[in-house]
Chains A and B, each alone.
Chain A
């Protein structure tokens, strides 16, 4: 997996969003459920994507000073 996966998963998420437009046919406020689905998908995707990208090419490396040498 690389940076491109963020893009491809984004495409999948957008596809799911479009799909959700045709999924909810309930009589009680389908707009609400569509919007909720799309917003949830987008929010979760954005947060995951940003987290993933932030670690893709790290500028600093983790350091510890409390490690014990393994004998």
Chain B
């Protein structure tokens, strides 16, 4: 059973265009509770509805599905834990995604099963890791113990070695200390004595004390000289020494040996170099104190027996325990890697599913329960064109859930401002991004994106015109567009994303640059003689430093600038004048297009007043000044200033200066200098245009506010007050017994009529328009400036870097040419295409944002952000 047929069916517009944003509908869904999860899942896959929050006054913790969200948060945490473990243990992460499970409808049982498996994996990994840590500690302990046992023997020997003549138990013990004691210690005793710096004592005193101590050790075995042994980080040993020396007042003897290999302590990040030490001290109390001090400094103490045989036995025992532990550690590691490998195959799928499920419950939290709590009520915006697709998705979801209670979709009638949804494809997307960066169009407003598609690359190309550079740019962009699927990874890279998402913009920019480059007759700053030149250089004149003038032939170079200008010494004089005038003409036309776009806006929003009293005076104002300037430019170009009449007299006096003409049009209205006159009646026309322009100012300023006030007064005088600013959203709830109207009352935009505010706005608007029409026109001169800079820079690169190598002579010229070409090409790519391209891009951007958009575009809309899993997953990936 289809759920179509409820609600009001509006006529659907068949095709859509990016000229305006989509027609949006506010829809209400009645979803049976048991279908809700499936429905939201289906809608998330499609990404067509932007849900409204119906529980705005309910805090995030009190919503219906908080527990489910928490549950998936917890699973996600477990997955993240597993992922971090996988990363630690060098197991490869699989990119495998179980499409079946990720996209198809998942029942609650599937989810439970998945959760169980994840929890089981997590538990096992946790246990294994804990056991591993514990055993590692044990391992470190054993290793340190082993070292202490080994080193202490040598320390004992050292002492006995220093006083070979002293008879006593220590010496006897030393000689009986087993094979370790036979290690020659001569070399070591040197180093030991050199690093024996006890406290800040001078060496002599230290020597004395040491001797006394050793005497005590040697002689007083019975008078309770004991020792403590342990391991401490190597950099702490001197601290230990000093502290012990001071606190025991010198009644101690400390010796230590560095352990060669670093010891990997699991509590520390990196392996630490440590030393084994032995402290002899007199009496139980002092030893206790020494123990405390050593421990407080981070030493680990190990009990070592005084007798060498005992030590030897302990050492053997420790070694065998170490071997066992090694085996256990290895087994643990293998088990952990097996576990993690099993997880890594699935973790991608699980992450995706968990994120999707979490998103589903987040959305469900936006919904409201109906009175009986059998069904959920959702409200959201969608494109009216997408309603059939949504309805089939609802139908599918009902089938997935195995339910026969359908979800009901109903369109609401509302006065709320819908979000703006401009349906773009991969070609228009980049251009729309340029517009959205300035402002998202209001619903129904003319979208400048449509025009930007062509005007943006064209204005760019006017500044970037060079056939060669344009070709290289087109080539790069074409590769990007051709391999766009294979290069999709670029979209995820921070710095390459700009180029990837703008690939179609760059493609068009390149193509237009080739066209403008052809017209500028520039290919890598060289000229092309495609057609016959309209100028002829004399054959018989010339020579170094002699100025020769070309003579004009009957025809004009048909397409583009004549190559004769290319090496002329006065070529800049010509190209500057040409490019400046062209910038002004194209700029005025571009702005005119912008002003004209007010008309469709006014028609759409049914504001006739905006056409009659905003658009008309504005266009008259612009045309009476700058339209006239454009007319004068064309007129000056198409007049032959050196034509002679039948009697051989010049028909014109001299070519006029257009700049002066415009200035004197304001300064001395009504009079035109005889030498500057272009046509008869010029003075009168200029005066008329000036008056018209002046008349337009009060027209723009006053008429619209006054009319608005008159209309308002009329309404008031007829007895109608202000309409209540609270408008209830109504539903066509016929036959829907018990349906709850959820749409809350929305405060309308204040209807208050405030004449002062309107007047102030209008004043600002008028002043802005009049001043901007001057500054904006001048602003289009950047087209000339940038194009001049580009042409000159590429000329410099050619003549300074590549050209000299061509003029060289000698046997290494080929090498020089290769080298010169490489440098020239790299600089061409880096500076001319890269940096110059970027700057031309920015200037084109400004011309669109400021000069074009401010003529008609509000850009105060809110972007349509439908609930879609793709967006959710992308966001999650970005955070990870």
**A69 and B545 within 8 A (CB):** no
A32 with B17: in contact, given A52-B558, A63-B569 (CB under 8 Å)?
yes
Chain B contacts with A in 532-566, Cβ cutoff 8 A: 534-535, 537, 539-552, 555-562, 564-565
Which residues of B sit under 8 angstroms from A31, Cβ to Cβ? 15, 17-19, 450
Smallest Cβ-Cβ distance to B579: which chain A residue: A54
Q: How far is it, in angstroms, between the C-alpha of A66 and the C-alpha of B577 when the chains are bound?
A: 24
**When chains A and B are docked, how far (Å) is the Cα of A1 from the Cα of B560?**
14
Determine if A19 is an interface residue (Cβ-Cβ < 8 Å): no
* Residues of chain B with a CB closer than 8 A to A27's CB: 14-15
Residues of A contacting B596 in the complex (Cβ-Cβ under 8 angstroms) = none
Q: Which of B544, B552, B555, B567 contacts A58 (CB 8 A)?
A: B552
Residue among A30, A48, A65, A68 with max Cβ neighbours from chain B (10 Å): A65
Contacts of B565 in A (CB 8 A): 62
Given A46-B589, A61-B549: A55 and B569 interface contact (C-beta under 8 Å): no
Q: Please indicate the chain B residues that have their CB under 8 angstroms from the CB of A28 in the complex.
A: 15, 425
Contact assessment for A32 and B454 in the assembled complex, using a CB-CB cutoff below 8 Å: no
Knowing A63-B549, A65-B547, A65-B548, say if A1 contacts B541 (CB, 8 Å). no
Which A39-71 residues sit within 8 Å CB-CB of chain B? 39-40, 43-44, 46-48, 50-70
Could you say which residues of chain A place their CB within 8 Å of the CB of B711? Answer: none
Q: Cβ of B621 < 8 Å from any Cβ of A?
A: no
Q: How far is the CA of A25 from the CA of B642 in the complex (A)?
A: 51
Least CB distance, B799 to chain A, in whole angstroms? 13
Q: Cβ of A53 and Cβ of B637 under 8 Å apart?
A: yes
Is B585 an interface residue, CB under 8 A from the partner?
A: yes
Q: Is A40's CB under 8 angstroms from B454's CB?
A: yes
Of the candidates B18, B542, B567, B578, the one whose C-beta lies within 8 Å of that of A54 is: B578
Which residue on chain A has the smallest CB distance to residue B575?
A: A54
A65 touches B455 (CB 8 A): no
Given A32-B17, A53-B637, check contact A64 B569 (CB 8 Å).
Answer: yes
The answer to whether A69 and B547 touch across the interface, beta carbons within 8 angstroms, is: no
CA distance A31 to B555 in the complex (A): 40
A40 to B637, CA, bound (A): 24
- Chain A residues whose C-beta falls within 8 Å of the C-beta of B519 in the assembled complex: 47-48, 51
Once bound together, how far apart are the Cα atoms of A57 and B17, in whole Å? 44
- B534 cross-chain contacts in A, Cβ below 8 A: 55
The answer, among A1, A29, A36, A70, for a CB contact under 8 Å with B558, is A1
Interface string of B335-353 (1 = CB under 8 A from A): 0000000000000000000
Chain A residue contacts of B571, Cβ below 8 A: 62
A63, B512: Cα distance in complex, Å: 31
Contacts of B640 in A (CB 8 A): 57
B547 touches A64 (CB 8 A): yes
Interface size class of B (residues with CB under 8 A): 35 or more
- Bound: A57/B568 CA distance, A: 18
A60 vs B549: C-alpha distance when bound (angstroms): 10
Please tell me if the beta carbons of A30 and B15 are within 8 angstroms of each other in the complex.
yes
Q: With CB as the reference atom, state the residue of chain B lying closest to A65.
A: B547
- Kindly state whether residue B42 has any CB partner on chain A within 8 Å: no
B583 to A, closest residue via Cβ: A50
Contact of A51 among B18, B543, B582 (CB under 8 A): B582
Contact string, B24-68, partner A, CB cutoff 8 A, digits 1/0?
Answer: 000000000000000000000000000000000000000000000
Give the complex CA separation of A31 and B18 in angstroms: 8
With contact pairs A31-B17, A62-B574 given, residues A47 and B546 touching in the complex (Cβ less than 8 Å): no
A39 engages B515 (CB within 8 Å): no
Answer yes or no: B516 CB below 8 A from chain A CBs: yes
Q: Which of B444-464 contact A (CB under 8 A)?
A: 450-451, 453-455, 458, 462
Given contacts A31-B450, A64-B567, contact A50 B581 (CB under 8 A): yes
Pair A56/B556 contact, Cβ less than 8 Å: yes
Q: Could you tell me if A62 and B564 are in contact, using CB atoms closer than 8 angstroms?
A: yes
- With known contacts A1-B555, A56-B637, A65–B545 Cβ distance under 8 A: yes
Which chain A residues border B641 with CB–CB below 8 Å? Answer: 57, 59
Given A35-B450, A46-B585, A61-B551, are A68 and B556 also a contact pair (CB < 8 Å)?
Answer: no
Instruction: Give Cα distance in the complex from A47 to B639, angstroms.
Output: 19
Interface residue B716 (Cβ < 8 Å from any Cβ of A): no
Question: How far is A63 from B542 in the complex, measured between Cα atoms in Å?
Answer: 11
**Interface pair B535/A61, CB less than 8 Å apart:** yes
| Contact A48–B559 (Cβ < 8 Å) | yes
Within the complex, what minimum Cβ distance (angstroms) separates B250 from chain A? Answer: 93
- Measured in the bound complex, the distance between the Cα atoms of B431 and A32 in whole Å is 12
- Given A39-B458, A64-B567, 14 more A-B residue pairs with CB atoms under 8 Å apart are A29-B16, A29-B425, A32-B17, A51-B559, A51-B561, A54-B577, A57-B637, A61-B550, A62-B565, A62-B568, A63-B568, A67-B541, A69-B541, A70-B540
Complex A-B: 21 CB contacts under 8 Å: A29-B15, A35-B453, A39-B455, A47-B516, A48-B519, A48-B560, A53-B637, A54-B582, A57-B639, A57-B642, A60-B570, A60-B574, A61-B549, A61-B551, A63-B569, A63-B570, A64-B542, A64-B550, A66-B569, A67-B541, A70-B540
6 shortest interchain CB distances as A-B pairs: A62-B568, A67-B542, A31-B17, A39-B454, A53-B637, A57-B640
